[in-house]
Structure 1
Amino acid sequence: MTNLAPTAEAAAGRPAPPPRRRGGRGARRGRRTPLLFCAPFMVLFAAMYVAPIGYAAVSSLFTVHRSGLGLTAPTKVFDPLGNYAQVFGDREFLSSLGRIALFGVVQVPVMLLLALGLALLIDSRSARGKGFFRLSGFVPYAVPGVSGALIWSFMYSPQSSPVNHLLEPLGLHIPFFGGGAVLWSVANIVTWGWTGYNMIVIYASLQSIPAEILEAAKMDGASAPRIAWSIKIPAVRGALVLTAVFSVIGSAQLFNEPAVLQPVSGGSVSSTFTPIMSAQAAVAAGNYPYAAAQSVVLAVLVGVVSFFFFKATGERSRA
């Protein structure tokens, strides 16, 4: 039964005090618990990413001055625009940016189309040995990038290239390190190494498509190519966008493959072949602020491209 007796406060004509909130301290502890779990990540993220970026940005605001005879130690002078003016006037660095832009425009779509095609083939019902093909496609990614570049340097070498030895009876010769071909020789190594990784990402996304939708399309008389084009490819749009952004960022960070090919390229791969190699050359010369300015410019450009790419793909998805 409900107790309808008036309280002492009501009988005395005083308003009853508001009810106490239970678990005040417990609620605050509950709100702090996620922060405690996130703290290790936040500390490592700040130490390994935010702090180096901030240090590079601050270092880029100084220029290195050396005496004419080189008898005194170089000094740093605060010059906020000096390094950036030099960056945008550096033809070699601008050429490396254009080279990487061309690399990304051609190599990234080709690699993702190959990865998408392989993922669709493995996902098809008639496919046999899916585990073997997934593993064989992923093996090149498991090979370290430097080791893979060393293998391909042997394949490209004018003295030991087995490809040119096989083509020699036909009177054919592929100049892998020619002026117009060396960039695509590097692109071939990157495509060989990363297609399998992107294939696995896209294939995992294909597995999330409900089987009922595929069965309904098949009962309606849709062919396998029609199902792939109208159902599977739109369903993996998010995976394609993700792999495309990662590939664009990876293209901007291209370093291992051209650096390994440089000693055997006969001068086709210079020390400023890519923006990262150009920054590394500035570090080797002891000009750390200029290398920092190059890195900041590259990071800003990659961020802008990624932002507009996400925005464009997001608007298409809503449309």
Structure 2
Amino acid sequence: MLARARAPYAFLAPALVLFAAFLAAPILYTAYLSLWKVKVSGLGLGPDARTEVWAGLGQYADALSEPDFLASVGRVALYGLIVVPVMLGGALLFALLLDAGRTRIGPFARISIFLPYAVPAVVASLLWGFLYLPRVSPFVWVLEHSGIGAPNLFSSQLVLYAVANVAIWGGTGFNMIVIYTALRAIPSELSESARIDGASELQIALRVKVPIVRPSLIMTFVFSLIATLQVFAEPMNLKPLSNTISTTWSPLMTVYRDAFTRNDIHSAAATSIIIAVATFALSFGFLKLVGNRAFGQES
């Protein structure tokens, strides 16, 4: 009897050990590092010139008052206002088109929509980066020979949209699959009843299907929100191709600069904790705001 009671814990033990070793312990160590700072004496030379001293919450205050970090937060907020609605709107549209009985989308079109998600973010960023460069982009060549002026997507006014385009291109397919899976679980009798009552395909989509898959829409929104706050690969890989993307373009790029360029691991740790807390607060707050209305129908 005792062995049977311990069996579930034996099965959970490997996952718990991995969670503690590779997730919980690094988080605790990062929080510990964020409470210290390096004090430099003299010119910073010699074995005792750099010492660690207790900083308390001073690193957090410095991070929250740093202009570069605050500018990166505002930049990513605008980036999210572009990426999240466009990406989820496109994913919902494609999912509804795939689910509609009268719309015939072949296997090639389905694979074409989902395939960008299978491309790693680093590869996708470099691919789009070279498509943006005027000297090597085939699109720029076609536009110029057609008498149409090609915009410089790496300009300071358009670089935000250039980075957002990479994220939209790569994330729409994944969100489409999530929403489409939820649509396939809807009983066909609901759509048939609405169709018999004279509802059009558009009315069926907006008044029958979309309300039912609302939990999936909320889930994809939370995933997209987290990915937006943690954007790193796209601007980091586009940065060598343009001088309009700074080393602090996004909050995670600020962490990378502090840790690996300035060699200030304590400031990077504090900024990382701030990003993690902000991500948790926004995700949890959004779920609390819409959770009862969205998931109440399933209880």
- Into which bin does the TM-score normalised by the smaller protein fall? over 0.9
1:81 to 39, 42, 57: 57
Provide the aligned C-alpha RMSD in A. Answer: 1.5
Shift of residue 316, structure 1, vs aligned partner: 3.4
Most deviating of 158-167 and 103-112? 158-167
2:195 to 205, 210, 218: 218
Shift of residue 35, structure 1, vs aligned partner: 1.9
1:248 to 225, 231, 239: 225
- Distance in 2, Cα, partners of 1:114 & 1:68: 58
DSSP 3-state at the match of 2:245: coil
Give per-residue Cα distances to partners, 1:92-126, cap 9 Å, x unaligned.
Answer: 01111111111112210110000000000011112
- Distance in 1, Cα, partners of 2:238 & 2:16: 38
What number of residue pairs does the alignment pair up? 292
Aligned residue runs from structure 1 range 293-312, under 5 A = 293-312=270-289
Aligned residue runs from structure 1 range 164-243, under 5 A = 164-168=140-144, 169-243=146-220
CA contact (8 A) 1:66 1:72 kept: no
The AA in structure 2 aligned to 1:247 is: S
1:269 to 245, 253, 258: 245
Most deviating of 161-170 and 289-298? 161-170
The AA in structure 2 aligned to 1:128 is: R
2:11 to 37, 42, 59: 37
Q: Would you say 1:49 and 2:23 are equivalent positions?
A: yes
Shift of residue 46, structure 1, vs aligned partner: 1.4
Map of 1:70 onto structure 2: 44
- Distance in 2, Cα, partners of 1:315 & 1:181: 39
CA contact (8 A) 1:122 1:133 kept: no
DSSP 3-state at the match of 2:52: strand
- Distance in 1, Cα, partners of 2:288 & 2:110: 32
Shift of residue 47, structure 1, vs aligned partner: 1.3
Shift of residue 127, structure 1, vs aligned partner: 2.6
CA contact (8 A) 1:134 1:200 kept: no
- Distance in 2, Cα, partners of 1:43 & 1:130: 45
- Distance in 2, Cα, partners of 1:221 & 1:107: 36
Most deviating of 119-128 and 67-76? 67-76
Most deviating of 165-174 and 82-91? 165-174
Percent identity over paired residues: 44
What runs of 5+ residues in structure 2 fail to find an aligned partner?
Answer: none
- Distance in 2, Cα, partners of 1:67 & 1:254: 36
Most deviating of 118-127 and 162-171? 162-171
CA contact (8 A) 1:189 1:257 kept: yes
Shift of residue 162, structure 1, vs aligned partner: 2.1
Map of 2:32 onto structure 1: 58
Shift of residue 71, structure 1, vs aligned partner: 1.0
DSSP 3-state at the match of 1:221: coil
The AA in structure 1 aligned to 2:40 is: R
Map of 2:81 onto structure 1: 105
Map of 2:139 onto structure 1: 163
Map of 2:109 onto structure 1: 133
